[in-house]
């Protein structure tokens, strides 16, 4: 990924209904979203001029805002179009998109009903989330210190900025120790997800994946499940205990950024990327580029 600072780039950002030069897309230091995490966002990918599952992402953005008790002042169709326009304005046909909505600076305190809701969309070139050589042989993960919280303690089904705090801390710790990422358990001790992607395991030709009852049911996750089932592969969604990992032969993670990436190691458990994980990695890449048609 480019080392150019994200606040010092050429290009245009869609901000509150109009395009502004990239370097001028700013917010006030007392923005409520900065102090109280009243912010929701999406991560999307454009492949060959088409944004994959665009409307599904936009609808989730609106749902996340609703969960955080604010209303985005545009329609789903308007945000869909703004995403397409942002890519065109920046001359991109293969890109990563970051729509984000947040409370403004009119009020600074826990109570913030009268803040203005802002929306921005930034797009940029995005290479592989993990290094190509890592993806081929499988990435290495350690266990995260923090756990995904209970639905009774956090709005776990919103893609809200505040929920990623423990992800950043956990990924930093993993990278410091030489790992690519960290695997998180949930508040009950079940396997949940990595810091930015859902996880799948393989045993005897069957795919097992954690039940998303306290973390996001990722759009890529849903796509991969449909893709696998369309090929006659059984997919079981259930709670998975950490000790069960000893019985799985393959593992892979999924996400808009990660796409489908095989895993070679999670803590003390090892896996070998093979037919299922490598096949789904290739099939997903073809699907998003419209080189694969499914029923």
The pLDDT tens digits of the residues spanning 117-149 come to: 999 999 999 865 556 666 778 999 999 999 999
pLDDT at 201: 98
139 and 68, same structural domain? no
> Which region holds residue 190: left if phi is over 0, alpha if psi is between -120 and 50, else beta?
beta
Assess if residue 254 is contained within a domain: yes
Q: What pLDDT, in 10s, does the model give residues 74-88?
A: 999 999 999 999 999
Assess if residue 142 is contained within a domain: yes
Assess if residue 55 is contained within a domain: yes
Instruction: Give the CATH number for residue 253.
Output: 3.20.10.10
205 and 141, same structural domain? yes
243 and 205, same structural domain? yes
Q: What pLDDT, in 10s, does the model give residues 142-175?
A: 999 999 999 999 999 999 999 999 999 999 999 9
pLDDT at 1: 46
242 and 149, same structural domain? yes
279 and 186, same structural domain? yes
Q: Is 50:291 a contact under the CB 8 Å cutoff?
A: no
What pTM was estimated for this model as a whole? 0.94
Assess if residue 7 is contained within a domain: no
Mean of the per-residue pLDDT values of the chain = 95
Q: Which domain holds residue 18?
A: 12-124
Number of domains making up the chain? 2
| Active site amino acids | 159
Closest CA to 255 of 233, 230, 224: 224
Show the beta-strand stretches assigned E in the chain: 12-15, 18-21, 39-41, 44-47, 50-51, 95-103, 117-124, 139-143, 181-185, 191-194, 198-203, 206-210, 235-238, 250-255, 259-266, 269-270
pLDDT at 2: 52
115 and 25, same structural domain? yes
**Residue 292: band (very low, low, confident or very high) from pLDDT cuts 50, 70, 90:** confident
Q: Is 209:221 a contact under the CB 8 Å cutoff?
A: yes
241 and 222, same structural domain? yes
282 and 145, same structural domain? yes
Instruction: Give the CATH number for residue 88.
Output: 3.30.470.10
Torsion, Cα of 45, 49, 55, 59 (10° steps): 40
| Range 48-66 average pLDDT | 97
Assess if residue 92 is contained within a domain: yes
Assess if residue 1 is contained within a domain: no
116 and 141, same structural domain? no
Residue 127: count other Cβ atoms within 10 Å of its Cβ: 11
């Amino acid at each position: 990924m480019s080392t150019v600072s994200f606040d010092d780039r050429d290009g245009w950002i869609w901000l509150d209904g109009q395009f502004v030069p990239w370097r001028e897309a700013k917010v006030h230091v007392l923005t409520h979203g900065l102090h109280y995490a009243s912010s929701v966002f999406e991560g999307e990918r454009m492949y060959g001029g088409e944004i994959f599952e665009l409307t599904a992402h936009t609808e989730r953005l609106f749902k996340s805002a609703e969960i955080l008790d604010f209303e985005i002042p545009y329609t789903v169709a308007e945000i869909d179009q703004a995403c397409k326009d942002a890519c065109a304005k920046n001359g991109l046909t293969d890109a990563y998109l970051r729509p984000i909505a947040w409370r403004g600076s009119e009020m600074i305190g826990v109570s913030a009903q009268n803040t203005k809701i802002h929306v921005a969309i930034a797009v940029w070139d995005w290479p592989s989330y993990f290094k190509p050589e890592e993806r081929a042989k499988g990435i290495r993960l350690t266990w995260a210190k923090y756990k995904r919280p209970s639905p009774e303690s956090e709005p776990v089904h919103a893609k809200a900025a505040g929920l990623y705090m423990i992800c950043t801390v956990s990924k930093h710790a993993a990278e410091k120790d030489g790992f690519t990422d960290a695997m998180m358990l949930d508040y009950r001790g079940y396997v949940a997800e990595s810091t930015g992607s859902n996880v799948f395991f393989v045993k005897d030709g069957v795919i097992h994946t954690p039940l998303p009852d306290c973390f996001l049911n990722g759009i890529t996750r849903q796509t991969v499940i449909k893709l696998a089932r369309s090929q006659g592969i059984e997919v079981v969604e259930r709670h998975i205990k950490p000790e069960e990992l000893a019985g799985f032969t393959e593992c892979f993670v999924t996400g808009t950024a990660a796409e489908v990436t095989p895993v070679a190691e999670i803590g003390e458990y090892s896996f070998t990327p093979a037919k299922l994980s490598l096949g789904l990695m290739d099939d997903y890449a073809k699907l998003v580029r419209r080189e694969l048609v499914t029923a």
